[in-house]
Structures are given as C-alpha cells and as structure tokens.
C-alpha cells in the first residue's frame, strides 16, 4: 500500500474514536433540541396538518359516496328513461295506427259519399233524359199529328175541326207506338 493511503486510514481511526467533553455536551444538547423541536412541531404543525388531512380525507370520502349515490341515481334515471322511451315508442306506433285507421275510415266515408253523389247525379241525369225523351216524343207526336192532319185535310179536303183531328191522330199514334 502506498504511504498516503496508510496515513489516511490512521487519521480516520484516531479521529473517529476521539471523544471529548464537548462532543457529549453537543450530542446531548442536539438531542434535547431535536426533542424540543419535535414537541413544538407536534403542537403547532402535526395536529393542524393531521386535522387538515383527516378533514380532507373525510371530504374525499363524502365526495366518493356522493358520486356513487349520483351514479346509482343516474342508472335509475337511465333505466326510467329507457322505459319511457320504449313506452313512447309503443304509444307512437299506437297513435300512428289509430291515425291510419281514422284516415282509412275517412277515406272510405269520402269514397262512399262520392259514390252516392255520383249515383245521385246519374239518377238525376237519367230522370232528366227520361223527361227529355218524353217531351221529345210528345213534341214528335204533335208534329206528326200536325203533319198527318194537314196531309189528311189536303187528301180529304174536307174540313173537320182541328181538335177532333188531333184526338183521332193521337189515338192512332198511341195505338201504333204501343
């Protein structure tokens, strides 16, 4: 070993076990100071910090419990919402079906009314046609009877009164038409 390394080891061993009176008094005074400092910190710092930490811990615990309660309530509300949504969907389908049935009913009623109105118009048109037909036949009969009367008067050249001629010709035409 080199000489310097040996010297360092010797110096360290001498200093390490060399205790004098100041060392012990300093050591005891340091321990008393540490104990006094610990007591002061305990009174002034540890209790408030511990109290603060406990209250903080309590608030965190309450917040967690509140969050869990809110979570449970939210789950209940979600289930209720889903049930309402299903119910609303069912009600919506029911309302749509009711309106569809009502629309079909109203359509059928409108169609029935339109058919009745159309049939009424057809019946009225038939009556009108029948009436016009009867009127036309009567007009034709009158024309024909007038023509027959004038032709007969010319042929017979006999003067009978026109009312009697009309009656005779009307009877003749009625017998012929019937």
pLDDT of 55-111, one tens digit each? 999 999 999 999 898 888 999 988 998 888 888 888 888 889 998 999 899 999 998
pTM of the model: 0.37
E strand or H helix that includes residue 103: helix 47-156
For residue range 138-148, list pLDDT tens digits in order: 888 888 777 77
Q: 21 versus 125: which is more confidently predicted?
A: 125
pLDDT range class, residue 29, cuts 50, 70, 90: very high
Half-sphere exposure of 7 (CA within 13 A, CB side): 3
Q: What is the mean pLDDT of the chain?
A: 80
Do 173 and 144 contact (CB within 8 A), yes or no?
yes
């Amino acid at each position: 070993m080199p000489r310097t390394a040996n010297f360092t080891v010797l110096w360290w061993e001498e200093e390490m076990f060399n205790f004098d009176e100041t060392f012990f008094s300093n050591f005891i005074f340091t321990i008393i100071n540490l104990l006094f400092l610990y007591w002061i910190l305990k009174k002034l710092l540890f209790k408030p910090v511990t109290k603060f930490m406990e209250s903080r811990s309590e608030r965190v615990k309450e917040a967690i419990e509140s969050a869990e309660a809110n979570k449970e309530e939210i789950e209940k509300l979600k289930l209720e919402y889903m049930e309402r949504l299903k119910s609303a969907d069912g009600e919506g389908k029911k309302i749509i079906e009711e309106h569809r049935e009502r629309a079909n009913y109203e359509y059928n009623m409108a169609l029935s009314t339109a058919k009745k109105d159309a049939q009424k118009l057809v019946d009225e048109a038939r009556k009108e046609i029948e009436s016009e037909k009867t009127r036309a036949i009567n007009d034709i009969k009158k024309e024909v009877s007038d023509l027959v009367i004038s032709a007969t008067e010319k042929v017979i050249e006999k003067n009978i009164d026109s009312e009697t001629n009309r009656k005779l010709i009307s009877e003749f035409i009625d017998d012929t038409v019937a």
